Amino acid sequence: MIVEDYFVLDPDWQYHIEIGRIWRTSLQLSIGQTEKRARLKSYPSKRLLFTVVPFSADENNYLRRKLYRGSGKIFGVPIWTDRCATTQAISPATGTTFTVNDNSLRQFEVGAPLILHEDINNYEVKEIVSIGSNSFTIDSSFTGTWASGVNVYPVLQGRINSSHTLIEETTYGHAPLVMEITEEYDEDITRTVYSGSSFSTYLGYPVLNLEPNRVSTPESLIEVFPEVTLFMSRGLDYTHTTEGQIRSAFVWNFESRSEAYELVKFFDEQCGRWSNFWYPSWMDDVVITSPFDSSDTVLNIEDIEWSTYWSDTKANGRYIYVLLPDGTEIIRKIIGAPSSTQITVDSAMGTTITSLSGVICCFLYMGRFNVDELTLEYITEQYMGAKVELATLQDITGTTTTT
């Protein structure tokens, strides 16, 4: 452990808590907008953000002295989102192994601290030696006596943001104060990198097919890359690529840890911005105008001028993602357009539909995460959301990645 002090004042759950996982990617961009990306870390670091509201002189003074003498210190802070509870009474006679109700999908790591916590005056910290199914083995026995049901949290070791404004509302309390802690390196920790997401693949690449929250409308930013030389009265352009880049912002809501950790696993598998994958645009890019049979390879659509704008692209606009009301997914490559209101796909649709009600058809993009940090925003310990930005790539094979 590298902790020099602890900050264990409970958060106010009226305000959402954020926990981020941060990778590091170096990105080099050619004049033709192809990319070379290098992964700079073998595991993600963590960032914790929460809000405290002290309601007593004891909490008020605790907050002040910790912040005032916190310059340069590495604090141990409970990861408030990842609580579990002991299922046995604990005393010095318990030994080094104890049981909890559920320690899965929580950010406990071997070599890192855990904390038994009741309040700012009653807690005890130990280092994790091993993690079992609903159990922990620690480096030494607890010195205190704890009843069954006491809260157990993983501990984040890091530095607290260095500037705070404390607004005096009364003698005994403050207005809300945001605390942000960024993890520091501890060589003793065996890092957890999640894997095993259940997403399907297409042409050897995974498909991030999580449908976003429609209440928060998906956003797209389209950027093009002209090079224009402007003379006294006329501009001359020369462009190394005729294709732009689309950056999409999606919001997802999750009703359980298992749902949220599918995205966490996927993000770790991609190592942030490092790796390529497919994802639907979730826009009405292609509007199918008549039902199709399982043997059909030609679809009737609204005119999108496909031959003019999409036929000579390398990836974007060349693949479609069709989602049927029963959850069936169909991915096909567009290989031609017999007319302005028809497209031909590379193989039969494989499913017959008699109604277009509830059918989604959009472009399938080849892209990557446009951020190296995935932030889960916890509304409660089981209900959380994430907003992620994705960016298209112009070519399936035009990007190289290195470790």
Domain membership flag for residue 17: yes
Q: Which residue has 């199709």 as its token pair?
A: 292
Domain membership flag for residue 243: yes
Mean pLDDT over 282-287 rounds to 94
State pLDDT tens for residues 198-214. 999 999 999 999 999 87
Do 215 and 101 lie in one domain? The reply is no
Domain membership flag for residue 124: yes
Do 259 and 320 lie in one domain? The reply is yes
Instruction: Report phi then psi at 29, rounded to 5.
Output: -120, 125
Do 166 and 295 lie in one domain? The reply is no
* SS3 (DSSP) at 164: coil
Do 251 and 329 lie in one domain? The reply is yes
**Which of 153, 151, 179 has its CA nearest to residue 166?**
179
Torsion from C-alpha of 74, 75, 80, 84, nearest 10 degrees = 100
Rounded Cα distance, 181 and 20, in Å: 10
pLDDT at 49 over 60: yes
Rounded Cα distance, 23 and 270, in Å: 10
Do 117 and 208 lie in one domain? The reply is no
Do 322 and 228 lie in one domain? The reply is yes
- Hey, how many other C-beta atoms are within 10 angstroms of the C-beta on 390? 20
Parent domain of 130? 5-183
- Asked whether the beta carbons of 140 and 96 are under 8 A apart, the reply is yes
Do 205 and 78 lie in one domain? The reply is no
Q: Which residue has 């050619």 as its token pair?
A: 30
Domain membership flag for residue 194: no
Domain membership flag for residue 191: no
For the chain, the domain total comes to: 2
pLDDT at 61 over 80: yes
Question: Which residues, listed in sequence order, are joined to residue 248 by a DSSP beta bridge?
Answer: 220, 390
The secondary structure element, H or E, covering residue 307 is helix 306-309
35 — pLDDT class (breaks 50, 70, 90): confident
pLDDT at 323 over 90: yes
Instruction: Report phi then psi at 38, rounded to 5.
Output: -125, 135
Do 239 and 167 lie in one domain? The reply is no
Mean pLDDT over 135-158 rounds to 97
Q: What is the reported pLDDT for 175?
A: 77
- Asked whether the beta carbons of 248 and 326 are under 8 A apart, the reply is no
Mean pLDDT over 366-378 rounds to 96
Domain termination site, one of 128, 153, 183: 183
Do 137 and 211 lie in one domain? The reply is no
Instruction: Report phi then psi at 342, rounded to 5.
Output: -145, 145
pLDDT at 172 over 70: no
Q: What is the reported pLDDT for 194?
A: 96
State pLDDT tens for residues 222-269. 667 566 666 666 666 667 667 778 999 999 999 999 999 999 999 999
List the Cα angle 201/202/207 in 5-degree steps. 55
Rounded Cα distance, 320 and 104, in Å: 37
Lowest-pLDDT range, 179-188, 309-318, 327-336?
309-318
Do 317 and 366 lie in one domain? The reply is yes
Domain membership flag for residue 403: no
State pLDDT tens for residues 72-120. 899 999 999 999 999 999 999 999 999 999 999 999 999 999 999 999 9
Q: What is the reported pLDDT for 27?
A: 85
Locate 396 and state its tokens: 């399936």
Do 151 and 214 lie in one domain? The reply is no
Question: Which residues, listed in sequence order, are joined to residue 85 by a DSSP beta bridge?
Answer: 151
- Asked whether the beta carbons of 67 and 148 are under 8 A apart, the reply is no
Do 12 and 137 lie in one domain? The reply is yes
Q: What is the reported pLDDT for 150?
A: 97
**CA atoms in the 13 A half-sphere facing the CB of 171:** 0
Domain membership flag for residue 159: yes
Q: What is the reported pLDDT for 70?
A: 84
The fraction of the chain above a pLDDT of 90, given in percent, is 76
Domain membership flag for residue 337: yes
* Helices and strands per DSSP (H, E), number in the chain: 3, 30
Q: What does the mean pLDDT of the chain come to?
A: 90
Rounded Cα distance, 118 and 107, in Å: 19
Rounded Cα distance, 134 and 252, in Å: 29
CA distances from 242 to 224, 264, 307 (A): 8, 35, 15
pLDDT at 1 over 80: yes
